[in-house]
Structure 1
Amino acid sequence: MHEKHWSEGVTRIAVLTGAGISTDSGIPDYRGPDGVWTKNPAAASLFTYANYMADTEVRQQFWCAYADHAAWRAEPNDAHHALAELDTAGLAVRVLTQNIDGLHQRTALAERKVLELHGSMRSTVCTRCGAKTSTESVLARIPAEPDPPCRNCGGILKLAIVLFGQPLDAGVLGQARTIAAASQVFLAIGSSLQVEPAASLCSIAVRAGAKLVIINRDPTPYDDEAVEVIREPIATAVRHIRKFVTDR
C-alpha cells in the first residue's frame, strides 16, 4: 500500500463497511463466491419488502433463516477492532455500516460513533403499529408460530432492517451524508458498493475533498474515484492502516 500520500495529517476518518468486513467473524457475505445469494439466488427474494409483506411462506423462510443465523454467535474480528483502535488513538472515526450484525458496537468504539444505515437484526418492529421488541424474544416464538404476529395489534413483524424496496431512514441518511462530507479520508471496506444510496456516500466524500480508499476483494463501481484500491485480505489491510496512521 502507498498510504503516505493520503493519510498524512488526517484527523477525521469516515468508514463505510459492508458484509465483507464480517466474513472473518463467520458471517457469510451476499455477493461473493461463497455468498448467500451467489449460492442461492432465490434467497434474495426474502429480502424484498413487497414479497415479505405479501407472502406468509416468505416470512416463515425469513424467520427460519434468522433463527440460526451465524451473527448470533459471531464476535468482532481484527478488522472491527483495528477500526476502534484508530478512534482510541485520537483520530475522529465514524463508522457508517451497511451491516445489521451489531459487531462494530461490541468493540471499543462508542455506540454513538456507529451509524447503522440498514438497521439492526437485534430489534424487531411491527409494520402496522410500530411497536418494537427484541428479536431474541420473537425468535423464541418461532417453533410454535412460524410467522409470529405482533402481540399488540396482530400486525406483521419484521426485523428492524431495510429490505429491498424500502427507503433508508431519511434522518439516518442525512446524518451519513454529513459525516461523509466532513471526512478527510473515506474508507470503504468490504462492500461491493452496488447498493444505493449507501454506496453514493463515496462520491459525496470525494466531492467534498476527502480521499477515497477502497478495501475490497472484487472491483467496485467506485474504484475510479479512489486514490487507492486495496485487494489484500480485509483484516490485514485494516491492521496495516491502523498501525501506519497511529504510529506516524
Structure 2
Amino acid sequence: MPLLEITSFITPEDLEEELRKDVVDGLTGDPKELPPKWFYDNRGSELFEEITRQEEYYPTRRERALLIRHAADIAQAAQSAALLESGAGSGERARILIDSMLATGTLETYQPVDVSVEFLRQSARRMAAEYPELRIAGIAADHDRHLHLITTADRRLTAFLGSTIGNLAPPERGRFLRSLRAIMASGDTLLLGVDLVKEPDRSRPPRPPPAMTRPDRTIRTWTRCGGPAR
C-alpha cells in the first residue's frame, strides 16, 4: 500500500482572515497589488498547469530541459534521503528529480508543499500511486507563514523552482530565504530555480495569451475576494 500522509497548516478560517488582510493592505497601498498566491485555489492551480503548457510560456520548458540534463548530477551531489518541494503544484518537475534520486539509492521521502489543500491532495495521491516505494508526506502550507513549522530532516534536498522567487519583493525574498535556512540542517541542499533578466519583448510576446489563462486567473482571485462569479 502506498505510504501517503497530508499535514495541513491551513484552515478555511485562516485563509479567509489572511485574504482579507492582503486585500485591504494591497488595494489601499501604492502601487495596488495582491500576492500571487491567491491565484492558487484548486481551479487556479489547474489553470496554471494549463498556462505552463502554452507556447508563450517558455520558463517551464527551459527549466524542465535543465532538470533533465542535470538531475543525475544534482542527485549524486545531494545524496538526499528526502526531497521537499515548495510550491509543488502537480509534481511534474519533482518527477525528474525523484527518478534520478531513486537511481542513487538514497531517496526515501517526497514532501510536496503547496498552498492549495485540495490540489495538493490530488497530486500527492497520484505521486503515491506512481512511486509506491516512497513515503509521500504532503504539507499544505503558505511559505510566507508556515515554513518554520516544517520539521528538519536528515539529508534533505529542498527545491524551490519555477522562478517563483521572482514573485517576491526583496524584503519578502529575504524573509523567505531565512525561513528556508531555519528548517535546513547540516548536510542539506537547496535547489533554487531562477529566471534570467532579459529584454521585455522576450517576456511579453506580441500576441495576447490564449483564452482561459490570465483573465481566468484574475477572475479566480476576484471571486475569492467575494466578487460575483462569472
- TM over 0.5, shorter chain: no
Q: Which has the higher helix share?
A: 2
